Amino acid sequence: MVLTALRTEVLDGLCSKERLDLMDSIDSLRSQGINHFVSLPQIIVYGDQSSGKSSVLEAISGVSFPVKSNLCTRFPTELVLRRTPQTSASVSIVPHHARSDSEKASLATFHEELENFEGLANLIDNAKSAMGISTHGKAFAKDLLRIEVSGPDRPHLTIVDLPGLIHSQTKHQSSSDVDLIQEGVEAYMREPRSIILAVVSAKNDFANQVVLKLARSADSAGTRTLGVITKPDTLHPGSESESLYVSLARNQEVEFRLGWHVLKNLDSEAGYGSLAQRDLREIEFFNRGIWTELPESVLGIDQLRNRLSKVLLNHITTELPSLIREIEAKRTACQERLTRLGQPRTTLHEQQAHLIGISELYQRLVQSAVNGDWNDLFFEDAESTTGYHRRIRAVVHNLNDQFAKTLSMKGHRRHMTDLGEERASKHCISVTRDEFVDHIENKMRRSRGRELPGLFHPMLVADLFRDQASPWEELARGHIRATWKACQVFLRHAIAHLADSATSTAIMHDIVQPAMVGILTALNIKTGELLRSHQTIHPITYNHYFTDTIQKIQEKREDDRVTRALLQFFHVEELGSYHEGVNLRSLKAALVSGTAEPDMHRFAASEALDHMTAYYKVAMKRFLDDIAVEVIEAVLMNALPAMLSPGKVFEMSPNLVTRIAGENKEAQAQRNQLMKQLEVLCRGAETCKQFAVNEPSGAEDSEDEEDEKDENEDEDDRSDASETQSAAVSHPPYIETSPSQPLQPFVEEPEPTVPIEVGDPVVFNAFWPTSSTESKKSKKKGKKVVPAFQWN
């Protein structure tokens, strides 16, 4: 690649001086960290291999690229033109993200600068070697070759030359090379702020050139694609191919909203010619043959520069609002990362102050979460997984609700079912009441005391209850651990939100985790205390719900017995109205029979079952509340805000403070990088916002010059217009309605005052007090001149 002296007139048309600050700010922003690039409005030149795209780029930019037919672009080349007081050139490599860390580090160190343009070709060859590109080795690379050309007369502009598209593999270009090039080209084309120059060579049928297919894929509406036809001199004059390409240039074959353009390349086969000679030969070529039928605006490099100037300027203006939003979003993210990093902290005092600040924020945030106050942005949307995990009060409530349901379904060892019901259960033993009574009766025989027959031992209820509530411990400890883990997840989110990655990791490791381990131990101890009160102490309750439940159990059993007796007596399947005569003595006997239990031991066992069932319900309700209040709230939730406090920071040893809040070299480098990036982002945002609210003065100046020219050319028209205006003031305009009606003075009303019948011919004439100069200006500026009245 050879860099020739740039011609100012070639590049000035592409970017006005008023855009320099904007382009400089955005270009500087692009050169910051890998994750902070902003898509910059740029010109992308791409086409099939040997389509002449390098010649197009040379003609546009004034930078000479090799156009020998046996060579091609081996990598994306980004040409960055910058305006600086001194002339210089530099070559660097931006490694592709797929490279390994060691390769990235090696390629990133490649940066060479030149005080003049001599030796640039050697630098580019060195860059090829660094990428691993050679004649017999690797043919293409995804790495970006960045060439920065600086000078006092060069406007800011970014032009990208992409590798030529290959249709199929050859002995020098493998199928992986084909895929590699297409992936790279498509990535550039998908950038919404890139102006695509789709180069089509007239040497080949345009329908077979991949460039058009990719253009439609990346820019389906064709709003940012401009087609460029090269090598029109290779077409035979008068041939069908020549006519087809002329039709393509008219935007009739493949339609792009930006249209098409035709360029004649340098004589690449002969290998000679300068830019000036190229321009002269191009003008001569388009002044003969069928090409004279095309508008001059689509022919030649001068017109292409003019078109690109307008397209690029309009594209920048259109993209500026989204560009500002992107910069603001990156600036906000950068500021948030800096906030988490905190101020520089090299001394113990700075480290302690930093940790105290985090502890204060931590206490406020965690207390809000414990109280169920979701006003802080930290809590996000409750419907998202992260947002729900951060709303720890809601999580704990839901876990307590789930524990209550689980204890109700799985907390009892034996479950009584009626005859005929499904008896299988994976959570407990399913038994009928008679089977349960048999079990209790057998237990009574083995533990009889001094109680009378028909009565049960006072401690029998305690034995039955402990056996029935035996699943409580496993369920309760599982619930406690699940709630404890939920709090751990919440704390991890909270700490990561308040501190940078290194500090938050240290806080979790040195403060939160040890504290949470201690809390888990305390939770298990408290849970064990509550369980022992039910496992070792005899049943005690003064809740009237106990006796109420016993009576309801017995009433329910008696109700079932009476119902069965009535159904059997009346020989019916269900209770209802009955109007026949009834022997009341027989009915009384039927109802009374079966009420007495002749077996005294079975009667006592049945009574013991009723008392145990009633006490189980009372104890279960108390246990649920105790777990929620005495364990979850008192031991766990109340400890969360106090886990990290300013007081505890003051009590920490200097070594612990340094280990948690001290900065390593990586964090210091990250802060410096973020501060530099934030500065560039702020400067870029300010510059963009200035251009968002102010029109470019260059456009205004051009309009003012045109206005001045119009005023000089139409000096006589002004006097004529002045006389016309005076006449218009002295004599109001008239409406000529028809020969049969007299002229009526014009009245400024929405509707004419003269009555008009349907079918009457209407001729509307008026004299408007507007000078011909103003009318000409409006037409030249593209303003629409709206007539005062219009009749259809």
Helix (H) or strand (E) holding 46: strand 42-47
Alpha carbons 409 and 620: distance in angstroms, whole number: 12
Residues 190, 276, single domain; the answer is yes
Alpha carbons 413 and 471: distance in angstroms, whole number: 7
Residues 280, 382, single domain; the answer is no
Return the half-sphere exposure (C-beta side, CA atoms, 13 A cut-off) of residue 593. 11
Alpha carbons 421 and 428: distance in angstroms, whole number: 15
The model's confidence at residue 369, banded by pLDDT at 50, 70 and 90, is very high
Q: Is residue 631 part of a domain?
A: yes
- From the list 467, 469, 408, 407, the residue with the least C-alpha distance to 439 is 467
The model's confidence at residue 711, banded by pLDDT at 50, 70 and 90, is very low
pTM: 0.51
Tell me the range of 265-269, 334-338, 478-482, 549-553 where mean pLDDT is highest: 478-482
Spatial contact of 86 and 104, defined as CB atoms under 8 Å apart: no
Strands laid side by side in the 42-47 sheet: 111-114, 88-94, 144-151, 77-83, 157-161, 42-47, 194-201, 225-230, 260-262
Q: What does DSSP assign to residue 637?
A: G
281: which residues sit within 8 A by CB, 6+ positions away?
A: 264, 267, 273
In 686-772, the DSSP E strands lie at: 734-735, 744-745
User: Cβ-count burial of 390 within 10 angstroms (0-12 exposed, 13-18 middle, 19+ buried)?
Assistant: buried
pLDDT of residue 575: 76
pLDDT at 49 over 80: no
Q: Is residue 690 part of a domain?
A: no
Distance of CA 157 to the CA centre of its chain: 29
From first CA to last CA, the distance across the chain in angstroms is 65
Q: Is residue 335 part of a domain?
A: no
Quick one: what percent of the chain has pLDDT higher than 90? 26
Helix (H) or strand (E) holding 690: helix 665-693
Tell me the range of 14-28, 293-307, 711-725 where mean pLDDT is highest: 293-307
Residues 182, 236, single domain; the answer is yes
pLDDT of residue 36: 45
pLDDT of residue 188: 81
Q: Is residue 752 part of a domain?
A: no
- From the list 132, 128, 142, the residue with the least C-alpha distance to 181 is 142
Alpha carbons 408 and 677: distance in angstroms, whole number: 59
pLDDT digits (tens, 9 = 90+) for 402-423: 999 999 999 988 888 865 556 5
pLDDT digits (tens, 9 = 90+) for 94-138: 887 677 778 878 888 888 887 665 666 677 778 878 887 765 555
Of 609, 639, 661, which residue sits at a domain end?
661
Instruction: Supply 513's token pair.
Output: 């985790």
Instruction: Please report which residue ranges of 571-664 form alpha helices under DSSP H.
Output: 584-592, 600-626, 646-651, 654-661
Strands 157-161 and 42-47: parallel
- From the list 774, 773, 766, the residue with the least C-alpha distance to 728 is 766
Strands 225-230 and 111-114: unpaired
Residues 480, 543, single domain; the answer is yes
Three-state DSSP state, 747? coil
In 264-347, the DSSP E strands lie at: none
Spatial contact of 194 and 217, defined as CB atoms under 8 Å apart: no
User: Cβ-count burial of 221 within 10 angstroms (0-12 exposed, 13-18 middle, 19+ buried)?
Assistant: exposed
Q: Which domain holds residue 624?
A: 353-575+584-661
pLDDT digits (tens, 9 = 90+) for 601-627: 888 888 888 888 889 999 999 999 999
Of 661, 685, 716, which residue sits at a domain end?
661
Alpha carbons 316 and 193: distance in angstroms, whole number: 8
pLDDT digits (tens, 9 = 90+) for 181-196: 777 778 788 888 888 8
Residues 494, 643, single domain; the answer is yes
Q: Is residue 101 part of a domain?
A: yes
pLDDT of residue 432: 85
The model's confidence at residue 482, banded by pLDDT at 50, 70 and 90, is very high
Regarding predicted confidence, which is higher, 478 or 103? 478
CATH number at residue 319: 3.40.50.300
b/e per residue, 90-114, with b = 16+ CB within 10 A? Answer: bbbbbbbeebeeebbeebeebebeb
Regarding predicted confidence, which is higher, 757 or 683? 683
- Amino acid residing at 259: G
Alpha carbons 253 and 200: distance in angstroms, whole number: 13
Residues 468, 523, single domain; the answer is yes
Backbone φ and ψ for 5, nearest 5 degrees, come out as -60, 130
The model's confidence at residue 784, banded by pLDDT at 50, 70 and 90, is very low
DSSP conformation letters of 203-270: TS-GGG-HHHHHHHHH-TT-TTEEEEEE-GGGSPTT-HHHHHHHHHHTTSSS--TT-EEE-PPP-TTT
Q: Is residue 720 part of a domain?
A: no
Q: Which residues pair with 42 in a beta bridge?
A: 194
Helix (H) or strand (E) holding 725: helix 715-730
pLDDT at 436 over 50: yes
Instruction: Supply 609's token pair.
Output: 């079952």
Q: How many domains does the chain have?
A: 2
Residues 275, 423, single domain; the answer is no
Q: What is the mean pLDDT of residues 264-284?
A: 73
Of 324, 342, 371, which residue sits at a domain end?
324
Helix (H) or strand (E) holding 438: helix 433-446
Residues 256, 392, single domain; the answer is no
Q: Is residue 397 part of a domain?
A: yes
Q: What is the largest CA-CA distance in the chain?
A: 136
Alpha carbons 476 and 490: distance in angstroms, whole number: 21
Helix 301-341 and helix 665-693, axial crossing angle in degrees, nearest 10: 130
DSSP conformation letters of 352-366: HHHHHHHHHHHHHHH
The rounded radius of gyration (Å) of the Cα atoms in the chain is 45
Regarding predicted confidence, which is higher, 576 or 271? 576
pLDDT at 1 over 60: no
**Alpha carbon of 386 to those of 379, 402, 636: distances in Å?**
8, 20, 21
The model's confidence at residue 537, banded by pLDDT at 50, 70 and 90, is confident
Residues 374, 275, single domain; the answer is no
DSSP conformation letters of 79-115: EEEEE-SS-EEEEEEE--TTS-HHHHHHHHT-EEEES
Residues 392, 299, single domain; the answer is no
pLDDT digits (tens, 9 = 90+) for 375-404: 998 998 889 999 999 999 999 999 999 999
Alpha carbons 617 and 472: distance in angstroms, whole number: 13
- Per the document, the length of the chain is 792
pLDDT of residue 117: 56
pLDDT of residue 83: 65
Residues 194, 249, single domain; the answer is yes
Least confident range of 9-13, 507-511, 574-578: 9-13
Residues 279, 357, single domain; the answer is no
Q: How many helices (H) and strands (E) are present in the chain, helices listed first?
A: 27, 13
Q: What angle do CA 425, 429, 430 make, to 5 degrees?
A: 70
Alpha carbons 148 and 158: distance in angstroms, whole number: 9
